[in-house]
Structure 1
Amino acid sequence: MVLQKALCIIIGYVFGLFQTGFIIGKMHNIDIRDYGSGNSGTTNTMRTLGKKYGFITYFGDALKAVFAIILTSFMFGKVCSDSMMVIALYTGLGVVLGHNFPFYMNFKGGKGIAASSGVIFAISFFDWKFVIMGFLTFFIALYLTKYVSFSSLCMMTGFFIEMIVWGQLGMVHNLHSNDKIEAYILVFIMTALSFIRHKENIKRLLNGTERKIGHKKEESNG
């Protein structure tokens, strides 16, 4: 199954190279990375070009993870029928890597939250609990704090904790017992990447200068 896992990462990375915000920026004759936070993700696109294009960017970046996982599930469904959750996670990690570090943009992409949320949505095809908890975690945190960055990190942290807790309890569908540790590591890497890419946001959260949703001042989560 090593070959299938490697192919999942490669296929995911190729899908991740579709940079919705960057493409929308080019359609407006700008490089979105020259504005705001310097990222090509959802929040920076929204703050630079408006809510309409921010939402288009989010759905474009989330859906590329969904489509990539659908493709690898179709490709390897018969060969890896007992390990479809881990196949989806390998693909999802590839998408996040492609989104965060696109080679043709000098490895300067987005922060991976929209792509990661697409991964969470896609694995709900195997286990619906993750998308429900991800949705609740993000929007409850956003309602209480008004910080998109903090809410995004809460969602990813919750995803990691849920995978471990439900995995250990045997409550994750399509996750073979032999794949549990591997699944935990893959989700940990995605979560760690989200924290690494949000390091400037974390600094601003700690010193109280992070921009809340709805504020006009130019800042970032991207």
Structure 2
Amino acid sequence: MFRIICIVIGYLIGCFQTAYILGKTVKKIDIRQFGSGNAGTTNVIRVMGWKSGIITFIGDLLKGILAVVICKLIFPDQVAAGLYAGAAAVAGHNWPVFLKFKGGKGIATTIGILLAFDYRIGIICAVIMAVVIFITRFVSLGSILMAISIPILFSIFWKTNYELMILGVFLMGSALLRHRTNIERLLSGKESKLGQRSNKKVEEKQ
């Protein structure tokens, strides 16, 4: 029963779309209709600028933290409670029921989840992502490599808890699924780098 409760709480928190709300209030646009069509930090930076992008990242990060903390407090004796809520928050962010299941890619939310659940894993993942982005300027590549590291890190720090490792695989899988078009563009050399601006209508189907 605790799993179901955590999933419901996490999903509803995840449905809070920072990028969508910011786009509507600041520029009176649906961010999902511009740039890459994604309701996430990178697309907000391209369409609305760095300030809005930073606000989006912080908002999505905080909802991941919030989902984990709330369910940890409700079920203090269930070590997996926070991670179930976190995984559901990513699902809510990526596929929000209130926005016809078209959201973001869940990376900022995933980092928030990991920091709140196990700061060691969260810090390592954040560093991996930051270093890759700094070197290559490809946010997608940093996100992909960070996602791949999640189940590896869970197998190191939580090697006796298979339930947590399975949830770690889910976090990786959802990130890779949402980045499938980015992977194709990276392989073809057509991926955009961080800082490239775009005010065009949706460039591709996500």
TM-score for both structures, normalised by structure 1? 0.86
Q: Displacement of 1:167 after TM fit? A: 2.2
Cα displacement string for residues 153-201 of structure 1 (whole angstroms, at most 9, x for unaligned residues): 1111112111012222xxxxxxxx4xx1111111111111101101110
CA distance in 1, matches of 2:142, 2:105: 14
Q: Displacement of 1:9 after TM fit? A: 0.6
What is the alpha-carbon root mean square deviation over aligned residues? 1.7
- The reply on whether 1:70 has 2:64 as its aligned counterpart is no
CA distance in 2, matches of 1:205, 1:112: 19
Answer with 1 or 2: which has the greater Rg: 1
CA distance in 2, matches of 1:40, 1:194: 14
Q: 2:120 aligns with which of 124, 129, 143?
A: 129
CA distance in 2, matches of 1:198, 1:47: 17
Q: Displacement of 1:143 after TM fit? A: 2.2
Q: 2:187 aligns with which of 206, 211, 217?
A: 206
Unaligned runs of 5+ in 2: none
Q: Which structure 1 residue ranges, 4+ long, deviate > 6 Å from structure 2?
A: none
Q: Displacement of 1:144 after TM fit? A: 2.3
Percentage of identical aligned residues: 38
The letter for the 2-side match of 1:120 is L
CA distance in 2, matches of 1:58, 1:23: 13
Aligned length: 201
Unaligned runs of 5+ in 1: 169-176
The letter for the 1-side match of 2:167 is L
Q: How does 1:1-222 map to 2 (within 5 A)?
A: 3-27=1-25, 28-77=27-76, 81=77, 83-84=78-79, 86-124=80-118, 128-168=119-159, 177=160, 180-216=161-197
Structure 2 contact 9–85 (Cα < 8 Å) conserved = yes
Q: Displacement of 1:139 after TM fit? A: 1.5
SS in 2 for 1:64: helix
CA distance in 1, matches of 2:16, 2:196: 29
